[in-house]
Structures are given as structure tokens and as C-alpha cells.
Chain A
Amino acid sequence: MLYREAGDFKTSYGKDSQTFPLKFDRWAYWLLLVVAFGVVPFFINDYWLNAVLLPFLIYAIAALGLNILSGYAGQISLGSGGFMAVGAYSCYKLMTSFPDVSIFFHVIISGLITAMVGLAFGLPSMRIKGFYLAVATLAAQFFLVWLFNKVPWFFNYSASGQISAPERTVLGYAVTGPLATAPAKYLFCLVFVLLLAWMARNLTRGSFGRKWMAIRDMDIAAEIIGVNPLSAKLSAFGISSFYIGISGALIFAVFLGAVDVNDTFSIQKSFLILFIVIIGGLGSILGSFIGAAFLVLMPVLLKNIMVGQLGWPSDLAAHFEFIIVGALIIVTLIIEPHGMAQVWRLTKQKLRLWPFPH
């Protein structure tokens, strides 16, 4: 009922490669943007911002980045936490060294710095493949965290080694620091999400994306048909790290305001991002968002139901939360190994054919 179409009437290549080939989807997309930019900022409060929306937006950026690397280029990485730390610490150094430059540029430059680091750690991917590469990226994770913990220059020689974001403004509104309002923080992150998602979509359907997918599907075959594996793999590492660096900078500056590198950028974070990508769907932009929503919202929801509504002791609820999240991950993988984006795709296909499935 939702979709009404009769046949394929596309007359140009442009129409054929549209992101949203269906009119209904285009409408839904624009409506979502209007709601996200025009409605949500008026109703947002601190709880929704910090418990739900900011983690969702920021992890979606990181997931987009990892999806480029793992989903499109097929290189599994467990170093996301370390790369996020690079973004966060670059952002901190930039914020404190150049206080007059807009934070917007600091975040972007942090992403670029992370991309450089990502390129360096991407080099072993020339030789190492599969799980060996996944475990090798852990070297980046542990080394980077150790480095930021150890070298005092990175945390401006503070006694404890913690970094805290000073107040910075965009267009006169504070987006970092304790006085920043919920709508300002939200919109700041939303702009990044929109820009980066748009960029990811266009990269992955362009020549970059095709090279990555060729490498993913069979790297030797790709090499034979003329894809340079060095440039394809390294570009995937670089661009993916750019995204992850931006998300790390946003986590630090906008979301948490202060980070301890051991806690915030630990290996657990790397796993979380990989989960988001896989549960959402490898090689799907939409999947990154669905996965982020699932893994950010689910624990909050479970906690609110079990502790808030049912009044269970908080430790029992926490144990059940682990059990349920673990079980849901397994069940999702069993039911649909291609992630939730695939479930959505199938549903949409069914809806388009409905009520005449044959």
C-alpha cells in the first residue's frame, strides 16, 4: 500500500543511479531532514541529548567510517577506538593551541590528522589479510592509547593526564563546554552527520566505491582487472579513519567534554563500532544508522524498562542487559546475517510487490 508504482520509466542515467529511486522514499527523506533540523531542536532536553541523540549521531559517523573500510573494502579493523583517540587528542591540541579558529575547522582537521595516522596503520594490509589483519589493527588500538597516556605533550602536561574541552562557539552559540545548550550541540553534530553521510554515499557509488568493492570481493581478481590494491586499500583506510577521527573529536569535545583515554577509547569501543556495522549491515549506509540506533537505544531502553518500570535491583538489570543484548546479537545474526539493512530491503521489496507477490 505504501508504494505505488507501475513499471520502470527511467529515461536517464542520473535517474537510474538515484539514492532514493522511489518518490515515497524521497519524501520520507526530506521529511526526516525537516523533522531533524526543524522540529527536534525545539523539543530536545539534556537527557535525550546525552543519553540518546548524541551517542547515536556520533557512533553513526564512526560506523559510516568503519563501514567504508570493512563493509565496502573488506578490511576488518579493530583499531577504531585508537583512531577515535587520535581525533579526540588532535581536537584538544588544536582547540587549545588555536583558540580563535572555529571549532568546526578543528574537528575537520582532526579528521585529516587521523586519516594520516590511519594510512600509516593501513600499510600492513598489503601483506596481511582477514583475521590476521583484524588482530594486527589491535596493535594500533593499544599503541595509540598507550601513546596518549604516556606523552605529556598530548594532554598539555596536566597532572592527571585527562583532557577537558574548553568552551568554543559556532556562530555565537557555545557547542562545547558546560554552558552549551542541547539544541546547539545537537545541530552541530547533525550537520556533520549529514555532510559525512552524503559524502559516504557519493564516494561509495563512485569509482572509489567500485574499486573498494572489487578488492573486497576478491583482491587478486581486482588487481588483474586493473585496480591498484595499494591505492584502493590505503584510500579506504584513510577515508575511514577520517570519519572515525571526526567522531572521536565530537565524542571528546561535544559529547563527554572530558575523556580519560583508557576508559573512553578502549578496545570495547572498537568492538562496539564493529557491532554497529555488522548488526546494521556491512556495506550499507542506512545500516550504519540502523545499527547505531539499535545498539545505543537498546541498552537505554532495557535499563529504563527493567529498573524504571519494573523496579528491579540495578545489578540484576545490568546482568540481564548483557544477556539480552548478547542474545539479540546472536539472534540477529542467525535470522539475517546481512544485518538489519537487509531486513529493511526485503521488507521494502515485499511492500512494493504487495498485494500481488507473484
Chain B
Amino acid sequence: MKLTKLAAFAVAAVVAASPVLADLEFPSISYRTGPFGANGAEVADGFSDYMTLLNERDGGIGGARVNAVECETGFSAEKTLECYEATKGNGALVYSPLSTAATYQMIPRVTADGIPLLSMGYGRTSVSNGDVFSHIFNFPGNYWTGASVIVNHLLDINDGSLEGKTIALAFHNSAFGKEPIRTLETLGEMHGFDLTLLPIDSPGQEQKSQWLQIRREKPDYVLLWGWGVMNQVAIQEAANIRFPMENFIGVWWSGSDNDVIPAGAASDGYKAVTFHAVGSDFPVFADIQKYVTDAGLSAGDGGNVGTVLYNRGMYQAVLMSEAVKVAQAMHGTADITAAMMRDGLENLVITDDMMEAIGLKGFGPNFEVSCANHGGPGLGAIQQWDAETQSWSLITDFGAPDMDVIAPLIAADSAAYAAENEIASQCN
């Protein structure tokens, strides 16, 4: 202990003496083991590879090198806490635990410690209200916008009316799976569709009852809100009862390559909502190949490049690094702190030009973050699986959710949190 402290002092002294910039710390809270390890590994690979690319190609961000150290949690909330405590003292800029349960736990902690948290498409939905949640961001999408985008897609293919239709929601019986229920209920009242709830207990290895019920009741559409083994089993069971795959739509956590491949050809036509593009048909992947994979620096074995979850991990790294650039410009220093990072995230504006500059034109939607809105506009698109070519493709443009429905829900939920925790308005 003492030795490491001495060493740390020595390093600090050297750093202070020379003009070398400190690293930008991005702790990567990942899980490559445990029940969700297969998915966690892909996200972690994407994140880590993009950060490595920035170091190798550009020498970091704005001249400051990136240090993305992984900390394995096995999807356990306690290990996540340990990882957080172990890394927060090293100047961590932003966290992203990739678990809804862990996010709930970290929200008060990171706020107290002044470190921002980016929960991209997961976590507590109402953190979009930056007025209450000063340090938490969940752009570009959240569960409620995802649910709304799916319903909008269904409206589109039904000529604008879902009157009298039935929609079943098969969800992971946990915080994560319960999130969309309230939104879907509200939307159901609005558009006149019936919602059937089918809870599936973790891990979801055995779902025969639920799928027999679906077969009996013949809902028009089934939505899937699962993670891990639950997705593979659900898609296999849907194929078994010959449920039309194009009427089966997953959230973005139920739309990865892992979920559809085990069912083989039967999963052809399965859809999922997403907030970023799919495939590896972007110039940045050539750079990843050249600077990361070929140089032997990739985090995994390189086989995950271009999968849905790899792209999501990479997109997360992209958005974080763009926020760093914003923060560096705002504060005029390359060596930013967590507080500056928060400003960067809050003033992040993603445009076509920016995405083109980093070789990802059209990869994600354009959006703007502001103090009051930490969630962006919540644009989403629908992707569909082609079992023949083993690839996903986007079948719609990035469309807007029904914010008239979602905004009041977010306001109500965040107001309750603010009242419970006596949080004053942050934005005025």
C-alpha cells in the first residue's frame, strides 16, 4: 500500500514537472462472464477498440491520451460498486455500467461525487430530465422512446390505426423489463390497442407457458423486452409456434446477433428497434482493422467487429469522445475533469458533418443535448434480421417518438424523485 502510494506521488511529481498531459480516464465497467457475458463482451470490445483507435490513430483526444481500463463485474451490482469505488479516485470522467439495476444504484452516488453517468438506452428513463438529474444522461434513446418508436412503426404499417389490435409484451421480470409498461399502457389507451403482459422470470430458460398463451390468444404483435438467454429462447419458441417473425419486435437489447443466430433460419424477419446503424459498412471500420485488429490490439478476438452490440459499444465511445472534444473546446484545456466532462455531455450536439468527419456518416441520428433535456429527442429506427445473409439491415429511417406522451411521464417520475430526495431545480 505504502509503496504504491509513494509510486503514485512520484508519478504525480513527474507529471507535474513535465508538460505531458494526464490520461483521460474512461473506466469500462464490463461483464464478460456470467449469465449475460456473451452480450457484455461485445459491447466492451466495441468500446475498447474505438478508444484504442483514438490513441493509435490520433494520439488520443485533443492530444490527451485515452486510458480505458476494464473492470469486470459479472453483472453483479456489488461488483459494479467495487469497480466504481476502485476507479473513481483516478480521475474517472464518465461511467456507463450497462445494467439497469446498477444504474439505479449509481445515480445518487455519481451525483454526490460529481461524475457524469451515461446510460445509453437503459437505466432510469426519467433521467432525461436534466433539471432533476444533473449528472445522468441517457441520450440518444431510452426505454420509453424505444417503446414509442416501435408503436409508431406499427402505426405506419397499419395505415395509422391500431384500433382493436392486440399487442403482447414479453418482458424480463425485473426493473429493466417493467420500464416500458407504463408507456405502452398510455399509448394503448391513445391508439386503442390491447396490451397483454407476459412476465418471464430471470433467466428465462423455460418460456413454454408464455408462448402457448401467445399461440392461443394470437396477438397481432409481440414485443420482446429481454436480455441474455431469454431472447434466444423467446425467438426459438416464436419460431416453434410459427409466429410470424415480422410481427415480433424487440427492444434494442433484444436485437443483437447473439439473439437470432441460435434459432438459425427460423429467425428470418425478426425486427428490433435501434438507435444506431448496423453493419460494418462505414469508413471507421477500415481504420479499426488497420490500427487495432491488425496491430493485435483488439480487446476481444476480433470476431465481434460489426455486430450490433459491438457497434453499440463503439457508439458509446464515439459519443463520449465527442463530448470530450466539446468539453475541451469549452474549457480551453485538453486535460479535462469530470465536471468539465459533464458540461461537454450537456452541450453535445451531433451533426452529420461531425459523424462524417469520424467516418460514421449516417451511423446515428443527429441530436442535441441541453440542460433541461439529457435524453435527446429519442430517435429510433427499426432493424430487421436476414437469416440468409446473417445480417441486420435498417428498414426505416430514424423516426421521432411520441414525446407528447412520454414527456409528461418523464416529468411525473422525475418530479417524484426530486421530491423524495429534495432536489432543487438545476437549470435556472
A residues whose Cβ falls under 8 Å from a Cβ of B:
46-47, 49-51, 55, 146, 149, 159-162, 164, 166-167, 177-179, 255-260, 262-264, 300, 303, 307, 313-315, 317-319, 322
Contacts and interface: CB of A to CB of B under 8 A. Distances in A.
Given A178-B111, A256-B105, A318-B32, A47 B89 contact: yes
Q: Kindly name the residue among A47, A146, A166, A258 whose own CB sees the greatest number of chain B CB atoms within 10 A.
A: A258
B82 A162 contact: no
Interface of chain A: mostly helix, strand, loop or mixed: helix
Given A256-B105, A262-B173, A300 B82 contact: yes
B174 A161 contact: yes
Contact of A166 (B125, B173, B420): B420
A315 B36 CA distance: 13
Contacts of B125: 159
Contacts of A162: 101, 104, 175
B100 A314 contact: no
B421 A166 contact: yes
B86 interface: yes
Contact of A149 (B78, B112, B174, B413): B174
A256 B175 contact: no
5 contacts: A166-B420, A259-B105, A307-B72, A313-B70, A313-B299
Given A47-B86, A51-B82, 6 more contacts: A49-B85, A50-B81, A263-B75, A307-B70, A314-B70, A315-B32
A314 B34 CA distance: 13
Interface in B165-211: 173-176, 178-179, 181-182, 201-202
Interface string B356-372: 00000000000000000
Given A178-B111, A318-B33, A258 B82 contact: no
A124 B345 CA distance: 56
Interface in B78-111: 78, 81-82, 84-86, 88-89, 100-101, 104-105, 107-109, 111
B202 A262 contact: yes
Contact of B77 (A260, A315, A317): A260
A160 B112 contact: no
A263 B81 CA distance: 13
Nearest to A182: B85
B201 A256 contact: no
B293 interface: no
Contacts of B179: 159-160
Interface string B119-145: 000001110000000000000000000
B100 to A, nearest CB: 7
Contact of B85 (A51, A166, A178, A307): A51
B76 interface: yes
A291 to B, nearest CB: 17
Given A149-B174, A164-B104, A179-B112, A256 B182 contact: no
Given A162-B175, A263-B76, A256 B33 contact: no
B45 to A, nearest CB: 10
Contacts of A257: 105, 108-109
Contacts of B244: none
Contacts of A255: 78, 81
A47 B420 contact: no
Contacts of A167: 421
A50 B30 contact: no
B74 interface: yes
Contacts of B76: 263
Given A178-B112, A263-B76, A314-B70, A161 B175 contact: yes
A159 B144 CA distance: 12
Contacts of B239: none
Contacts of A303: 72
Contacts of A146: 201
B64 interface: no
B292 to A, nearest CB: 15
The 6 closest A-B pairs by CB, nearest first: A315-B32, A260-B101, A178-B112, A178-B108, A160-B175, A314-B72
Contacts of A263: 75-77, 101, 174
Nearest to A303: B72
Given A159-B182, A314-B32, A315-B72, A260 B108 contact: no
B212 to A, nearest CB: 20
B41 interface: yes
Contacts of A307: 70-72
A4 B37 CA distance: 55
Contact of A314 (B71, B89, B124): B71
A322 to B, nearest CB: 7
Given A258-B104, A259-B77, A318 B72 contact: yes
B82 A50 contact: yes
A314 B30 contact: yes
B406 to A, nearest CB: 12
B81 A256 contact: yes
Contacts of A50: 81-82, 84-85
Contact of A319 (B30, B33, B82, B89): B33
Nearest to A180: B112
A111 to B, nearest CB: 21
Contacts of B420: 166
B74 A318 contact: yes
B178 A160 contact: yes
Nearest to A299: B79
Nearest to B30: A314
B418 to A, nearest CB: 12
A289 B202 CA distance: 32
A50 B88 CA distance: 12
B78 A55 contact: yes
A157 to B, nearest CB: 10
B104 A160 contact: yes
Contacts of A259: 77, 101, 105
A196 B49 CA distance: 50
Contacts of A149: 173-174
Given A51-B86, A262-B174, A256 B78 contact: yes
Contact of A47 (B75, B85, B107, B111): B85
Contacts of B33: 315, 318-319, 322
Interface in B258-280: none
Contacts of B413: 159
B41 to A, nearest CB: 7
A315 B43 CA distance: 13
B108 A164 contact: yes
Contacts of B173: 149, 262
B200 to A, nearest CB: 12
A262 B113 CA distance: 27
A315 to B, nearest CB: 4
A178 B420 CA distance: 13
Contacts of A166: 420-421
B390 to A, nearest CB: 25
Contacts of A319: 33
A177 B108 CA distance: 7
A46 B85 contact: yes
A19 B77 CA distance: 38
A313 B33 CA distance: 12
